[in-house]
Structure 1
Amino acid sequence: MEAVILTSEQYNNLVNRLDNLNGKLEENSKKPQNVFLDNQEFIQLMHISKRTAQTWRDEGKVSFSQIGSKIYYKMKDVEVLLDKNYNKAFKNKR
């Protein structure tokens, strides 16, 4: 094993850079609702067809953004869609 010697300035610089990276990683992992999906990613995630995605947009079931012909969905809005259609498990009486 080879030892590497750093000056205190180099060490502090390295630690600061690692702290910054760690902060960015934590920030991104805590806020999945700020992630945008394009239409293809949304279709693959939900296992639906393009037509179904269009119908859901037309019916107002899911919010979206459109720039030209490109469609985007906030992950937060996808979660809202799933939460609105959530059915609790029920106990089957026998």
Structure 2
Amino acid sequence: MEAIILSKSQYEVLLKKIDDLRNSLDEKQKSPKDVFVDNQEFLLLMNISKRTAQTWRDEGIVSFSQIGSKIYYRMSDVEKLLEKNYNKAFKSVKR
């Protein structure tokens, strides 16, 4: 086994890089509820048109944030929308 010797400053730089990497991984593993998607991602995710998304916003079906002309949706709100409209499978009766 080969030994590697680092100076104190090199060791501190290495520790900082490890901390940065850990923070980056923590950020990427954030709960999907904390993530926002823009309108285009929402359209693709829900497989709907721009007009349908506009109607849903106008009717209060889905919550959103708007900055200028840019629209964002919180993933937790998208999940709520899907849960609210969830229909449980029913057992068909065969005769």
Using structure 2 for the length normalisation, give the TM-score. 0.77
Aligned to 2:59: 59
Aligned to 1:40: 40
Aligned to 1:88: 88
- Describe the SS at the equivalent of 2:90: coil
- Describe the SS at the equivalent of 2:72: strand
Runs of 4+ in 1 over 6 A off after TM superposition: none
Identity rate, percent: 66
Using structure 1 for the length normalisation, give the TM-score. 0.77
- 1:31–1:90 Cα change, 3 Å: same
Specify every segment of 5 or more residues in structure 1 that has no aligned partner in the other structure, as ranges. Answer: none
- Count how many residue pairs are aligned between Structure 1 and Structure 2: 93
Specify every segment of 5 or more residues in structure 2 that has no aligned partner in the other structure, as ranges. Answer: none
Aligned to 1:74: 74
What is the CA distance between 1:32 and its match in structure 2?
1.2
Superposition pairs of residues 1-20 of structure 1, within 5 angstroms: 5-7=5-7, 10-11=10-11, 13-15=13-15, 17-20=17-20
- Describe the SS at the equivalent of 2:45: helix
Aligned letter for 1:89?
A
Q: How far apart are the structure 2 equivalents of 1:93 and 1:8?
A: 75
- 1:90–1:9 Cα change, 3 Å: farther
What is the CA distance between 1:5 and its match in structure 2?
4.5
Aligned letter for 1:92?
S
- Describe the SS at the equivalent of 1:66: strand
- Describe the SS at the equivalent of 2:29: helix
- Describe the SS at the equivalent of 2:93: coil
